[in-house]
Amino acid sequence: MAQGVAPLPQQVLGTGRSLRRRVDQAFIVVTGLFALLIVAVLLTIAAQLAYQAWPAVQAFGLSFLTSATWDVIDSKFGVLAIAYGTLVSSLLALLLAVPVSIGVALALTEDFLPAVVRTPLAFLVELLAAVPSVVYGLWGVNVLVPLLFPLMEWLNLKFGWIPLFSTPPQGPGMLPAAVVLSIMILPTIAAISRDVLSVLPTEFRSASMALGGTRWETIFRVLLPAGASGILGGVMLGLGRALGETMAVTMVIGNAPQISPSLLDPAQTIASLLATQFGEASEPLHVGALMYAALVLFGLTLLVNMIAELLVRTIQLERT
Amino acid sequence: MHPVDPQGAETDGSKILVEPLSWDRTLFNQFMTVLAFVFLALALLPLLALLFEVLRLGLPNLSLESFTALPAPPPLEGDPPEPNGFGNAIQGTLIMVGLASLISIPAGVLAAIYLSEFAKGSQIAAWSRFATNILSGVPSIVMGVFAYAVIVLSTKTFSAFAGSVALSVLMLPIVVRATEGALNLVPDSLRQGAVALGATKVQTTFLVVVATALPGIVTGVLLAVARAAGETAPLVFTALYTDLWSEGLFSPTASLSVLIFNFYNDPDPNRIQLLWTAALILVGLVLFTSILSRLAIRSPSTQRR
């Protein structure tokens, strides 16, 4: 009997086992390499942008950030006016999108509606995020801009003394761009806010209502303060998306690199600058300046997304 | 029903219980409810308006020709109408999204396996997860600039390959996040059961964990593919555009999204017609994928968990 049993462990656990262990270890190493690949890709993007931007960095230094002239013919490049357009269009979009997104999130989490109605509505809001940017641009050019034009004319006519509306509208401009952007970032902010609100403990609601709070008093005094950091994280993610949004903005903003207080004037963003000029840039300094601008955009979104990441992560920690 | 109301506190308790909510609080409550629903309607209006517009202008010209013909050149007077379509853009989108999927899906799934199965809580996993989240927030145009710097500048030609690389970088974080999420939902008892039966790590991972999480992974991959198919910014100056069929991976290649961008202020009505049909196909594709993935999430195999 001992003779029959002895060879068996040798075969099953002996050479075969060490081979299988080696395969297992190799597998772990390979998957680990792919996990590190993501870090490598991110670092390579940063390094490549910096490397390609180097001629422009040498030529303009930090004055690139403070000069508002973008002159392709004379090879004088400064990103200030374009960075201004990027920041103002994004912040304006936030101003429009944040109240609406939070309203949407509340309407879809607090029990206003039966789940049968709520789920499809929430899905429709999510679909807003799925529509390609270029289609938003197409719709913006053909529907939204003509729709907003009378409003813009009216604003200029009645409120022209306010610098914000001081120039006659030309159709494309800062305001239509901000409206399109706000539509595009709305689902991001609404989705995160909805997640945040739906993980708040039911006890918060019960306690507030037991103390006599109405539904909206509960929302304003308990739920929104309790979810504030998570909602802010969602807002930052929305901001990150708005800063980098390209096609739709390019099609409706008018692409004029200028700093104008008027929201009815055309403007330009870094992303739209890249989209319109990269294809035909041949001068090394022009390409370098575009790379420099891309680096600025990369740095800006990196900063915003890191803040968002930290804010959203605190929520995930609380959830577990 | 507000016990802190000083007037209510002076009277007897039974009155407090029947006293209605003060009119200002009622009004505020109702006003806010109405406002929330107005906002919801306001949010959905653009989607419906956009779908309507795309259907109205895109559907009438949709035909088999749209998929097989090349964009017609501007018509000369008296010429018979030529076949008008965006077959080259369909071909280019398929090539580039396909190649980007071939690069990013295996890489993303393997990375996610490491994050979820072998390195929970390790330093490498923390870095990798952080990089994934940051990468998913990097604007898609920056991916295009990256592919331009790495591939277009070194090969000295705009190419489908450069477009694919840009799209694969875009897809990578989406695939990783979705796959890791799906793998995390697989209960540990399944892994323990597999190991107890003598399965190796490779066997446990692929035959048990990945197999169980497959619906979730497929969902994430579908969403990444749909997202890549709709992207324009990374392709505008990497794959560029051509009115002709693609001449291979290392030549300029058309795509549906760049076709829309290049044609949108073209004076030729044929091209305007064409781009709305292209927009219809693009929106239809993306919405179909989104709905499909939503159904996959709800499928019974995922609900059992």
DSSP A92-159: HHHHHHHHHHHHHHHHHHSTTS-HHHHHHHHHHHHHHHHS-HHHHHHHIIIIIHHHHHHHHHHHHHHH
Q: Closest residue of A to B31, CA-based?
A: A216
d(CA B280, CA A218): 44
pLDDT in tens, chain B (305 residues): 444 555 444 455 555 566 788 888 999 999 999 999 999 999 999 999 999 999 999 999 888 888 888 888 777 776 677 788 899 999 999 999 999 999 999 999 999 999 999 987 788 898 999 999 999 999 999 999 999 999 998 998 999 999 999 999 999 999 999 999 999 999 999 999 999 998 999 999 999 999 999 988 998 899 899 999 999 999 999 998 988 898 888 999 999 999 999 999 888 888 898 999 999 999 998 888 888 887 776 654 444 33
Contacts of A27 in chain B (CB under 8 A): 201-202, 205
Give the distance between the most distant pair of CA atoms in chain B. 94
Q: What local confidence, expressed as pLDDT, does residue B20 receive?
A: 80
Q: What local confidence, expressed as pLDDT, does residue A3 receive?
A: 47
Contacts of B114 in chain A (CB under 8 A): 28, 31-32, 34-35
pLDDT > 70 fraction of chain A, expressed in percent and rounded: 92
A236 pLDDT more than 80: yes
Q: What local confidence, expressed as pLDDT, does residue B220 receive?
A: 87
Which of A28, A141, A297 is nearest residue B139 as measured by Cβ atoms? A297
A292 pLDDT more than 80: yes
Determine phi and psi for B6, rounding to 5 degrees: -60, -35
Which residue of B103, B104, B120, B134 to mutate against A (max A Cβ within 10 Å)?
A: B134
Q: What local confidence, expressed as pLDDT, does residue B8 receive?
A: 44
- Confidence at A282, pLDDT banded by 50, 70, 90: confident
Q: What local confidence, expressed as pLDDT, does residue A194 receive?
A: 92
Q: What local confidence, expressed as pLDDT, does residue A5 receive?
A: 45
Element (H, E) at A71: strand A70-71
Interface of A with B in 31-90 (CB under 8 A): 31-32, 34-39, 41-42, 44-45, 48-49, 51-52
Q: What local confidence, expressed as pLDDT, does residue B89 receive?
A: 93
Q: What local confidence, expressed as pLDDT, does residue A76 receive?
A: 87
- Confidence at A310, pLDDT banded by 50, 70, 90: confident
- CB neighbourhood size of B272 (10 A): 15
- Confidence at A317, pLDDT banded by 50, 70, 90: low
- Residue A76 is given by DSSP the state E
Which residue of B104, B135, B148, B156 to mutate against A (max A Cβ within 10 Å)?
A: B148
Strand partners, A70: A77
Question: Using the beta-carbon criterion (under 8 Å), do A183 and B233 form an inter-chain contact?
Answer: no
Alpha-carbon dihedral A128, A134, A136, A140, rounded to 10 degrees? 170
Question: Using the beta-carbon criterion (under 8 Å), do A216 and B205 form an inter-chain contact?
Answer: no
Q: What local confidence, expressed as pLDDT, does residue B2 receive?
A: 47
Q: What local confidence, expressed as pLDDT, does residue A275 receive?
A: 92
d(CA B223, CA B291): 10
Q: What local confidence, expressed as pLDDT, does residue A1 receive?
A: 42
d(CA A254, CA A144): 14
Contact by Cβ (8 Å): A106, B43: no
Q: What local confidence, expressed as pLDDT, does residue B302 receive?
A: 42
Give the distance between the most distant pair of CA atoms in chain A. 104
Instruction: Output the average pLDDT for chain A.
Output: 89
**Residue B186 zone, left/alpha/beta (φ > 0; ψ -120 to 50; rest):** beta
Q: Closest residue of A to B25, CA-based?
A: A214
Nearest CA distance, A319 vs chain B (angstrom): 15
Helix boundaries (H) for chain A? 2-5, 7-9, 16-60, 63-66, 80-109, 115-130, 133-139, 145-159, 174-199, 202-210, 215-218, 224-244, 247-252, 270-277, 284-319
d(CA B232, CA B140): 9
Nearest CA distance, A216 vs chain B (angstrom): 6
Burial (Cβ within 10 Å: 0-12, 13-18, ≥19) of residue A313: middle
Q: What local confidence, expressed as pLDDT, does residue B71 receive?
A: 87
Question: Which amino acid, A10?
Answer: Q
- CB neighbourhood size of B104 (10 A): 26
Q: What local confidence, expressed as pLDDT, does residue A2 receive?
A: 45
